[in-house]
Chains A and B, each alone.
Chain A
Amino acid sequence: MPATTRVFVKASIVYLILGALLGALLLFSRWLPLGSAVYYVRPAHVQFLIVGWLTQLILGVAWWLFPPLAFRLRGRGYPHGQAQRGSETLFWATFALLNAGVLLYALGEPLHIRTGSGPFGGLVALSSLCLLAAALTFVINMWARIRELGRGQV
């Protein structure tokens, strides 16, 4: 398991635990009154579990297990080592954008709901752009690896 995948998977497990704890807090508030502020954690609960946990785990494992690249690098033969998986720099960019998107949304959405003010709406919009950029960088990086194994195998 490459270092990149290890970071993705460990981050996803942290989000699973945080998301589940926030979910437990929300369910607890149905029994014991914890104040109305507890409902502001709902966007973070959803975002942590759907994007931080499930999506990030899938991206990390896909990077690890999908077939390696098969095309020749100009003048250098087939890629080898980490380069077989695609651009590691771009994959780290995916990681940074995805986590920035998750955290900005978890912070910005409750503040936006509470205050209804423009700057926090801008934070939510920025988080969405980060997530879109994460998705684009991941797909661009992985596209050529979605192929049949065996043809052009290094």
Chain B
Amino acid sequence: MPSLVRLYIKTSFVYFIAGFLLLALMALDGWLHIGRWFGVAYISQLHLLVVGWITQLAIGVAYWMFPRFLKTHNPRPRGSDTLAWAVYLCLNAGLVLRLAAEPFHLMTGQSWLAALVALSGVLQAAAAVGFGLLIWARIRPLE
């Protein structure tokens, strides 16, 4: 398993734990009223699980297991390493930025926080497009 794949999968596991930890804290907040932040974090929490955990795991495993290029055709059997790193960075920067900005934006309605939330969406969409470009040519018969 290449090092970047290990990083994708380990990061997805971190989101898996973080998503359910946040869910537990939100449930506790409903009972003990820990803080207002937990009351508005539900959309971010959902995206931690759907994007950070399941989608990132799927991307990492696809990058690892999909048919590789022959070394005679392409010196990089899994495609561009730079693009694979860019996808990883955009996806995770987008997710973390969203988690950091969205609940506070929902609480305060400040415009600069809304701009950060919009930026997080652009980063995640860029990661999706980057992954499509990275993996498309590897969706092919085994040789």
Contact = CB atoms under 8 A, between A and B. Distances in A.
A30 B127 contact: no
Interface in B89-111: 98, 105, 111
A30 B66 CA distance: 37
Interface residues of B, number: 30
B7 interface: no
B139 A31 contact: no
A31 B128 contact: no
Contacts of B115: 31
Given A1-B140, A10-B136, A13-B131, A31 B117 contact: yes
B114 A30 contact: yes
Contacts of B114: 30-31
Nearest to A3: B141
B120 interface: yes
B55 interface: yes
B128 A20 contact: yes
B128 A32 contact: no
Given A1-B140, A13-B136, A26 B128 contact: no
Contacts of A24: 118, 121-122, 124-125
B58 A31 contact: no
A30 B139 contact: no
Interface stretch (A46-54, A95-103, A111-119, A121-129): A46-54
A110 B118 CA distance: 23
Nearest 9 interchain pairs by C-beta: A27-B121, A20-B128, A24-B121, A31-B114, A24-B125, A31-B118, A20-B125, A28-B118, A30-B114
Given A23-B125, A24-B125, A32-B118, 5 more contacts: A1-B66, A16-B128, A20-B125, A24-B121, A57-B62
